[in-house]
Amino acid sequence: MHAPYQIQGLDTLTIAQQFGLPLYLYDADRIIRQIDTFRSSFTGVNLKIKYAAKSLTNLSILKLMRTQGVDVDVVSVNEARLAMLAGYTPQQIMYTPSGNAWSEIQEAISLGLRLNVDSLPLLEQVGQNYGASVPVCLRINPSVADGGNFKIQTGHANSKFGIPNDYRDRIAAVVAQYDMVVIGLHIHTGSDFKDAGTFLKGASVLFDMAADYPDLQFIDFGSGFKVAYREGDIVTDLADLGTRVSAAFQAFCQRYGRELELWFEPGKYLVSEAGHLLTQVNIVKQHPTRRFVQVDSGLNHLIRPMMYDAWHDIVNVSNPDGEPTLYDVVGYICETDTFATDRLLPEVRTGDVLSFENAGAYGFSMASTYNLRERPAEVMVYEGQAHLIRQRDTFEDLTRGMVDIDVFTTVETI
């Protein structure tokens, strides 16, 4: 007999009944534990964690982060506005645009966010318009690649992100021309970082460049920490990385002549494992060669399997002791939306509740209303209590903004 599937002692089936399905369920304890593990991996450095809000963009999640002393990294002004609603001051928010409109950059500046500059033309524009009055951080592309799906690598030479480190002299020239103040240097090498060695190679690019800028306050190493999606996955060895980066950073601060802050921007690492997408089985059907399970969800709610070939463990919550059977688990979208192929699960019956694991990061935040389907509700378990933190969409939500232009003449048909 398997124990009932619980979160902080609460039965997930009871939560499913209470809030309805499909449902995104988050365990706040798990998020707090990840923050603590992250912090304790680094020693002897002035560490600041900036949660990447795009991974799970919810007001209550941001409030939880704030109570844990975690700041925020945002990629749009709207994310910044949400962070401010959650109580963050503009200075606690790092704004990292990537080809955003000039009007939005100006808005970010007028809100007082910290600005991370991602291209030479933007650096010019900020310099021309604001000069020394807007301190900037520079996002550098170190031309280092690591493992993982190519779509989520951002630090290699052909990636669109950052200013190539080959342009070191050109960057310094623009900064000098407009008398700009550089307070930070940043790299974000993309998701799925596993190797401390590659990481330190990127770090040393920033350490070298730091010599050009005497006013630095921080070095921002971005993110890309790998979590295990399936048993046996290679994960970032955070203890090892923390020890080696801490030592390298201390040595760098010595050379630089001053202690700087060491920043990271984890998204996935903090929230992925805390999230579960709970769904209900609509149909189980047998084809000559395949056995399909269709759930009341699809790539509209969790696009990672189709977009990144991501693996998500699946738990049969309502029939954990069923006979192990092979299934293709698919969605209800009119489009191929396979969650899993040839997956061994305890026998699945119509009405069973299946949980997709590791769904906290880039799950709800990438959800859409494709097929005019509601996005799920979101619930967070905090201190043993389940709280609704976002309502399920309604039909009115889905059609809000559509404009009924009453100008058409009906064609007579014969």
Ligand X SMILES: *Cc1c(COP(=O)(O)O)cnc(C)c1O
- In the complex, what is the shortest distance from the CB of residue 276 to ligand X, in angstroms, rounded to a whole number? 18
User: Using CB under 6 A, which of 202, 242, 266, 298 touches ligand X?
Assistant: 266
Residue number with CB closer to ligand X (227 or 253): 227
Of 130, 229, 317, residue with least CA distance to 115: 130
Asked whether residue 362 is marked as a ligand-binding residue, the answer is yes
In 41-148, which ranges are continuous DSSP H helix? 59-67, 77-85, 102-111, 120-130
Smallest distance, ligand X to C-beta of residue 189, A: 10
Residue 182, judged by CB atoms within 10 A of its CB (0-12, 13-18, 19+), counts as buried
Matching residue, tokens 């706040």: 28
CB of 360 to ligand X, least distance (A): 10
Is 51 assigned a ligand-binding role in the annotation?
no
DSSP code per residue over 340-373 = EEEEEEE---TT-EEEESS-SSSSGGG---GGGP
With CB under 6 A as the contact rule, which of the stretches 259-267, 303-311, 382-390, 400-408 interacts with ligand X? 259-267
CB of 242 to ligand X, least distance (A): 15
Q: Do the beta carbons of residue 171 and residue 141 sit within 8 Å? A: no
Tell me phi and psi for residue 233, to 5 degrees.
-60, 145
Q: How far is the CB of 340 from ligand X (least distance, A)?
A: 22
Touching ligand X, residues 327-366 (CB under 6 A): 361
Query: Does residue 308 have a known ligand-binding role?
Result: yes
Interface with ligand X, residue 148, by CB under 6 A: no
Query: Residue with the closest Cβ to ligand X?
Result: 267
Residue 79 interacting with ligand X (CB under 6 A):
no
User: Is residue 335 part of an annotated ligand binding site?
Assistant: yes
Binder to ligand X among 33, 39, 48, 54 (CB under 6 A)? 54
Mark 267-306 with x for binding to ligand X (rule: CB under 6 A) and - for no binding: xxx-------------------------------------
Nearer to ligand X, 186 or 375 (CB): 186
Q: Does 189 bind ligand X (CB under 6 A)?
A: no
232 assigned binding-site residue:
no
With beta carbons less than 8 A apart as the criterion, state whether 218 and 263 touch. yes
> Considering only 173-181, 217-225, 294-302, 319-327, which stretch makes contact with ligand X by CB under 6 A?
217-225
Q: Specify the residue, 269 or 311, whose C-beta has the smaller distance to ligand X.
A: 269
Nearest to 184 by CA among 300, 95, 121, 276: 95
Catalytic residue among 1, 257, 258, 334: 334
**Could you report how far apart the first and last alpha carbons of the chain are, in Å?**
67
Q: Rule CB under 6 A: is residue 23 a binding residue for ligand X?
A: no
- CA 200 – CA 209 distance, rounded (Å): 14
Residues numbered 104-133 forming contacts with ligand X, rule: CB under 6 A: none
| 222 touches ligand X (CB under 6 A) | yes
Q: Which range touches ligand X (CB under 6 A), out of 12-20, 52-60, 282-290, 352-360? A: 52-60
Give the one residue of 22, 61, 72, 73 binding ligand X; rule: CB under 6 A. Answer: 73
Smallest gap, in angstroms, from Cβ of residue 413 to ligand X?
A: 53
- At 282 the three-state DSSP class reads strand
51 contact partners, CB below 8 Å, separation of at least 6: 62, 65, 70, 71, 72, 73, 265, 266, 267, 270
Residue 188 binds to ligand X (criterion: CB under 6 A): yes
- Taking the CA of residue 382 as centre, how many other CA atoms within 13 Å lie in the half-sphere pointing to its CB? 13
- Burial class of 187 by CB neighbour count within 10 A (0 to 12, 13 to 18, 19+): buried
The yes-or-no answer on residue 334 being catalytic is: yes
C-alpha–C-alpha distance, residues 128 and 113, integer Å: 19
**Distance of alpha carbon 359 from its chain centroid, rounded?**
11
**Complex with ligand X: residue 220 or 337, whichever CB lies closer:** 220
12, 34, 41, 55: which one contacts ligand X (CB under 6 A)? 55
Identify the helix (H) or strand (E) that includes residue 246: helix 238-256
Other C-beta atoms lying within 10 Å of the C-beta of residue 23:
25
Q: How many residues bind ligand X, per CB under 6 A?
A: 18
Least spacing, CB of residue 382 vs ligand X, in Å = 22
**Rounded Cα gap, residues 264 and 293, in angstroms:** 40
**Which residues form the catalytic set?**
334
Binding residues (CB under 6 A) for ligand X: these are 52, 54-55, 73, 75, 96, 188, 191, 222-225, 265-269, 361
Which residues carry a binding-site annotation?
A: 224, 304, 308, 335, 362
Which residues carry a binding-site annotation for substrate?
A: 304, 308, 335, 362
